């Protein structure tokens, strides 16, 4: 083995071969040096050992299932992909033609809708609409034509048809861009999953190491049906139900149950509601009193009506509930939930009055941050916050940390257990859910077992057991079941009478 004394080395005199040896040697040596110096801090003190060592070992163990998912990828139905692309391109062309005609005949100019600068001149210069501004990459407030700005301008009667076309064209453009994403030569799409991609312990994803694929954690539901199970296999998507909200309830219970100023009822009320029914439908009913609740239909049916783009009223109020839990202000939450600010203010009064443990948890968390104390979740994951301790942005990050981090640990603990059992093939993790495939003839054996295996149970104070329930959906593609997608994911209720259509070979014409 060649020994190179880097302390006396002249970098300028290195040949390419020696330079590579030095680079690789230093890379390994410096990493080892960092590890040896950090190790005493990892194991310093009995309490710290419990938290830091567990998180470190857990993260290392996750590398194996993550690598397997990255190598396997997920099969793309190229026939469905090509068909969807053709339909979307035709729709894009039609909408472009309509928009050009509307602008030319209505305003008298010609505009490239893809150019933010030209759109800005049209909307703010030619049409004289109120200028919408947003902080740019340089930190300066400047005119913008992003989605939020366009939605604000759409109340203008003349601008409405133009803006509706623009929003639809942009959505189509993003969908077409995703469908055109490069796949590998074996017909599969792969994604890079990063275990350390976030500060909370949740994973992030990006293009694969080969430059193909994309962030598969951010695929909209309308495009998921192009991903299909391998021949003889079937998909199961296991999803943690209301995980972040339940975690808030568990945190409140553990924080206040031993406090003499709090009754057991008040300390556990939010968690009790989470575990007693559909929290998001309850929140929807509180925040949307104008919906026809008492008309014979179930509350869930009413909450599941389409409200904005592809989102239902329940989806929007789910954002409202989560955002309120995470210290979202009425103006901010009104934007996300598409509700008047006054409605959100009234909701906050009712919500925090019904669940006083939530604002009390906010106060306790902020107090910890102001005293420069780290936060440790109920799963033992610890985080220090280095932002300004009096800054509202730091407070919001701190409050969101524990519930979101717990969700990540809950799903990933289950994923590790599934992988170690070696009965299914893991495919895609999406923050609080996991998609995997299995031999379809074993469905009634595999799915119940997987639901139980994914369950992660911890014991809260006073011996209260806590776990987040899981819902399973099964099918042969990743999209949701519908009349137009009969092979999509359908809620598993102990069996599935459907069967998969025979797979046809692709012609060269379809592939092109």
116-134 per-position pLDDT tens digit: 999 999 999 999 999 999 9
Find the length of the chain.
Answer: 512
pLDDT for 10 beyond 70 = yes
Q: Which residues contact 464 (CB under 8 A, 6 or more apart)?
A: 253, 268
User: C-alpha distances in angstroms, 275 versus 165, 271, 280, 403?
Assistant: 43, 6, 12, 16
SS3 at position 242: coil
Helix H or strand E segment including 237: strand 233-240
H-type helices in 121-263, by residue range?
Answer: 147-153, 160-179, 243-256
pLDDT for 510 beyond 50 = no
* Residue 45: Cβ-neighbour burial (10 angstroms; 0-12, 13-18, 19+): exposed
pLDDT tens for 429-464 read 999 999 999 999 999 999 999 999 999 999 999 999
User: In this predicted structure, what is the pLDDT of residue 509?
Assistant: 43
pLDDT for 50 beyond 70 = no
pLDDT tens for 234-293 read 999 999 999 999 999 999 999 999 999 999 999 999 999 899 878 888 888 877 888 888
For residues 227-238, b (16+ Cβ closer than 10 Å) or e, as one string? Answer: bbbeeebbbbbb
SS3 at position 228: strand
Kindly report which listed range (54-58, 85-89, 151-155, 282-286) carries the lowest average pLDDT score.
282-286
pLDDT for 512 beyond 50 = no
| Residue 276 exposure: Cα atoms within 13 Å on the Cβ side | 8
pLDDT for 504 beyond 70 = no
Contact 474, 447 (CB under 8 A): yes
SS3 at position 142: strand
How many whole angstroms separate alpha carbon 25 and alpha carbon 32? Answer: 11
* Residue 417: Cβ-neighbour burial (10 angstroms; 0-12, 13-18, 19+): middle
pLDDT for 511 beyond 50 = no
User: In this predicted structure, what is the pLDDT of residue 507?
Assistant: 47
User: In this predicted structure, what is the pLDDT of residue 334?
Assistant: 86
Average pLDDT of the segment spanning 171-189: 93
Mean pLDDT, the chain, integer: 90
Contact 51, 382 (CB under 8 A): yes
pLDDT for 470 beyond 70 = yes
User: In this predicted structure, what is the pLDDT of residue 137?
Assistant: 83
- Most confident of the following: 165-174, 290-299, 368-377: 165-174
User: In this predicted structure, what is the pLDDT of residue 406?
Assistant: 96
pLDDT-based confidence at residue 48 (cuts at 50, 70, 90)? low
* Helix-, strand-, coil-residue percentages of the chain, each rounded to 5: 55, 15, 35
Average pLDDT of the segment spanning 209-225: 90
User: In this structure, are strands 227-228 and 74-76 parallel, antiparallel, or unpaired?
Assistant: antiparallel
List of domains in the chain: 1-31 (no CATH), 78-179 (1.20.1060.10), 245-381 (no CATH)
How much of the chain exceeds pLDDT 90, in percent?
Answer: 64
């Amino acid at each position: 083995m060649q020994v190179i004394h880097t302390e006396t080395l002249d970098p300028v005199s290195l040949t390419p071969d020696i330079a590579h040896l030095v680079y690789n040697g230093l890379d390994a040596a410096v990493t080892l040096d960092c590890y040896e110096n950090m190790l005493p801090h990892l194991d310093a003190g009995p309490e710290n050992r419990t938290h830091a060592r567990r998180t470190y070992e857990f993260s290392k163990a996750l590398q194996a299932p993550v690598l397997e998912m990255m190598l396997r990828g997920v099969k793309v139905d190229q026939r469905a992909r090509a068909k969807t692309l053709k339909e979307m391109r035709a729709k894009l062309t039609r909408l472009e033609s309509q928009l050009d005609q509307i602008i030319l005949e209505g305003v008298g100019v010609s505009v490239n809708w893809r150019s933010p600068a030209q759109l800005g001149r049209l909307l703010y210069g030619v049409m004289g609409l109120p200028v919408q501004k947003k902080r740019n990459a340089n930190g300066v407030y400047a005119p913008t034509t992003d989605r939020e700005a366009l939605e604000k301008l759409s109340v203008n009667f003349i601008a409405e048809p133009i803006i509706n076309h623009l929003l639809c064209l942009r959505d189509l453009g993003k969908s077409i861009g995703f469908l055109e994403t490069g796949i590998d030569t074996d017909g599969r799409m792969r994604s890079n999953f990063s275990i350390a991609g976030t500060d909370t312990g949740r994973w992030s994803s990006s293009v694969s190491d080969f430059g193909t694929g994309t962030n598969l954690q951010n695929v909209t539901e309308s495009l998921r049906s192009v991903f299909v199970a391998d021949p003889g296999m079937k998909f199961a998507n296991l999803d943690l139900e209301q995980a972040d909200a339940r975690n808030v309830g568990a945190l409140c219970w553990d924080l206040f149950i031993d406090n003499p100023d709090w009754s057991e009822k008040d300390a556990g009320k939010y968690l009790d509601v989470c575990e007693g029914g559909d929290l998001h439908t309850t929140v929807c009913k509180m925040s949307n009193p104008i919906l026809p609740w008492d008309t014979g239909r179930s509350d869930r049916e009413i909450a599941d009506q389409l409200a904005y783009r592809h989102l239902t009223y329940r989806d929007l109020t789910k954002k409202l509930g989560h955002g309120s839990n995470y210290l979202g202000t009425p103006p901010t939450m009104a934007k996300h939930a598409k509700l008047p600010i006054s409605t959100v203010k009234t909701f906050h009064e009712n919500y925090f009055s019904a669940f006083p443990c939530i604002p009390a948890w906010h106060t306790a968390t902020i107090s910890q941050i102001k005293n420069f104390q780290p936060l440790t979740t109920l799963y033992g994951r610890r985080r220090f916050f280095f932002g300004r301790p009096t800054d509202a942005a730091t407070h919001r990050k701190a409050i969101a940390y524990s519930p979101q981090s717990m969700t990540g640990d809950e799903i990933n603990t289950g994923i590790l257990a599934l992988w170690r059992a070696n009965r299914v093939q893991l495919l895609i993790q999406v923050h609080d859910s996991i998609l995997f495939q299995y031999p379809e003839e074993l469905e009634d054996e595999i799915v119940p077992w997987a639901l139980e295996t994914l369950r992660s149970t911890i014991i809260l104070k006073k011996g209260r057991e806590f776990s987040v329930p899981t819902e399973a959906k099964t099918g042969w593609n990743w999209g949701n079941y519908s009349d137009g997608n009969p092979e999509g994911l359908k809620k598993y209720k102990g069996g599935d009478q459907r069967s998969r259509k025979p797979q046809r070979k692709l012609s060269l014409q379809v592939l092109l």
